[in-house]
Amino acid sequence: MAELTFQKYLKTYVRQLSEQNTVSIIRLADEASGTNYRIREPLMLYAMVTGQSNKLLCATKNAELYKEYHGILTTYLKEQVMAILAEGTDELPENYHKVWRSYVSVRDRSLADQETIGLIRNKIHRLQEKHEIPIAEIRDAMALKPAKYNRWVVHGDCTAVTLAEARTAFNAVTELIQEQQNPKLQF
């Protein structure tokens, strides 16, 4: 999983907020001009970061909403809006800052997950060395696709697996170690 950008976040977010499950600026502007109030700020930011600001202005039918969008889009450049959001200044209405804070929360959670995945990878390496388990057995116990295993365990790419996959893989390795230390007797 690649690093979450504001644009990727907004695309997913406006689609989720959309009553039509769309990212079409024209359809979303129609929703925002109507009863879908929650989509208004994310839509303006999405149009701005995707270079569709003019399309949004043309499609916005609600005069009050058009005035708000026009005011922001003609006053600030994209880079200025991004700086205002990142700095948390009060130049933009609070609802725009809420969208930004939501993005930062999701982005940072993803980074924290990647750090945890890296720690789990290190634990697996230490266990493998300590208990002298062949790499092939570890790979088989993890039940990961070979490409994922190589990206994560061999090359250290912590974006190759999810946190849930990493935890499952670690549990599989610890179970393998327990089975080797306490073999079951078969009759």
Q: Are residues 16 and 69 in the same domain?
A: yes
Asked if 42 and 149 touch (Cβ cutoff 8 Å), the reply is: no
Residue 29 falls inside a structural domain: yes
User: Is-above-0.85 flag for pTM?
Assistant: no
Q: Are residues 13 and 71 in the same domain?
A: yes
Range of the structural domain that residue 136 is part of? 110-181
Q: Which amino acid is at 104?
A: V
Residue 104 falls inside a structural domain: no
Q: What is the helix, strand, coil percentage profile of the chain, to 5?
A: 75, 0, 25
Q: Are residues 116 and 176 in the same domain?
A: yes
Residue 145 falls inside a structural domain: yes
Q: Are residues 121 and 87 in the same domain?
A: no
pLDDT digits (tens, 9 = 90+) for 43-77: 999 999 999 999 999 999 999 999 999 999 999 99
Chain centroid to CA 168: 21
CA gap 67, 56 in Å, rounded = 12
pLDDT digits (tens, 9 = 90+) for 94-103: 999 999 999 9
Question: Which residues are within 8 A (CB) of 40 and not within 5 positions of it... i.e. 6 or more apart?
Answer: 32, 65, 95
Two tokens, residue 90? 């009060």
Q: What is the mean pLDDT of residues 170-179?
A: 87
